[in-house]
Amino acid sequence: MNDKPSTQYNSAVQQIKAAILKSQATALANINQEQLSLYYAIGRYISYNTRKGFWGKGAIAAISAQLQAEIPGLRGFGESNLKMMRTFYEEWKILDYESSAAADDLGAKSSPAGDDFQEADNQDVTIRQARLTNLMDIPIAAFFSISFSHHYIILSKVKSKEGRLFYINLCSELHLSKRSLIQKIAEDAFHNQGKMPNNFSVTIPEHKQAFKAIQMFKDEYLLDFINVEQLGEREEEIDERVIENEIVHNMRNFIMTFGRGFSFIGNQVHYDKLGHDHWVDLLFFNRILKSLVVVELKKGAFKPSYLGQLTHYLHVLDDDERIEGENQSVGIILCKDADKTFVEYVLQDYNRPMGVATYKARQHKLKDLLPDEEEMKKIMA
């Protein structure tokens, strides 16, 4: 293309420029919603003109260059970003449908409400701010609360609608950074988190707080930094204290495995209540939940009696340790094995926030990595 963009893109440049300047003048209180609506509208405009073939090859690059020349210091409207806006619109264009039409058919059969595109006059297509509505299961408040960068990460890495809605809600509720969001997607949090048997929805009265707690914990943790068999212990001789010591010695790895916002308070934390001693295996504080978190370690399969012990610890912590502004304490049983259906059944009888997760440690022994005795003799010979 020539250095000077063809005049055929002038109308496009002027319309995008006017939309940008108008958006920049909008009140800062709704800046994220305004920005997303703007990007959606520009993406819609670009999608129509590029997909219908009205613009030639290199049009987006040329438009981007002229935009940045006409608005000095403009950021976020490079060629790749304009293409991201197009993707943003195309993946979420259902949001611009009439609620009544969308309720009848969530597919692409309905046409956008008040569509400004005119097939007969494609060069004068106007950009309008998107009129986005809360359709069925799409959480529009959460949708507008996260950044465009977060949206694009979700769109590029998650393909199902259900998965995308899950991560939008997760970002909104937990205020995830972009790096944390990428990590959650890499861990496949959509399929793995929120599956731990728990009673949070009935024991934590505030809905958002319950959601945060449910999403905070996994149903199974891979503690691959622990290899208890290398400690010279037989499986039947390994007790909770061996596992606990390994976790304490690898606390940084454990916290990274366990999740965001955890601060380690201590292990075998002692409390004296009415003359009776109590020892909490692992005690944390979580900044996101604003709660003390008790983790009780068990070497074998889940037993209902574990919940009674944990309930007592939570009662003591809430009475003696919780300070003003903190939420009620949360307890997790971390055991080797658990029947989830049975755990969920038993949890119905308890009125303090608790869940049961399982763990896996490395199973190979060091000697298994070495040659056998006969092979070693051959090597030595």
Q: What is the pLDDT along the chain (381 residues), one digit of tens a residue?
A: 455 556 668 878 888 887 887 766 555 447 788 888 889 999 999 998 998 877 888 899 999 999 999 998 888 899 999 999 999 999 998 776 533 343 344 344 433 333 433 333 444 456 766 566 555 567 778 888 899 999 999 999 999 988 999 899 888 877 888 998 998 898 788 887 778 999 999 999 888 888 888 888 888 888 877 665 544 444 444 567 777 888 888 888 888 788 778 999 999 999 988 888 989 999 999 998 999 999 999 988 999 999 999 999 999 999 999 998 899 999 999 998 999 999 999 999 999 999 999 988 765 444 444 455 566 555 555
Q: Torsion-angle region of residue 105: left (phi > 0), alpha (psi -120 to 50) or beta?
A: beta
Q: How far apart are CA 281 and CA 284, in angstroms?
A: 10
User: Amino acid letter at 148?
Assistant: F
Specify the pLDDT at position 90: 92
354 within 8 A of 214, measured Cβ to Cβ: no
Specify the pLDDT at position 123: 43
216-366 carries CATH number 3.40.1350.10? yes
Beta strands in the chain (DSSP E): 220-223, 262-273, 276-286, 291-297, 330-335, 354-361
Specify the pLDDT at position 107: 40
Count CB neighbours of 132 within 10 A.
20
If we measure between CA atoms, which residue out of 52, 49, 65 comes closest to residue 2? 65
Specify the pLDDT at position 250: 83
Specify the pLDDT at position 351: 94
Specify the pLDDT at position 227: 60
Q: Is the dihedral of CA 41, 42, 47, 48 positive or negative?
A: positive
219 within 8 A of 196, measured Cβ to Cβ: yes
Whether the predicted model's global pTM rises above the 0.75 cut: no
Q: How far apart are CA 262 and CA 342, in angstroms?
A: 29
- Taking the domains of the chain in order of start, what are their residue ranges? 1-136, 216-366
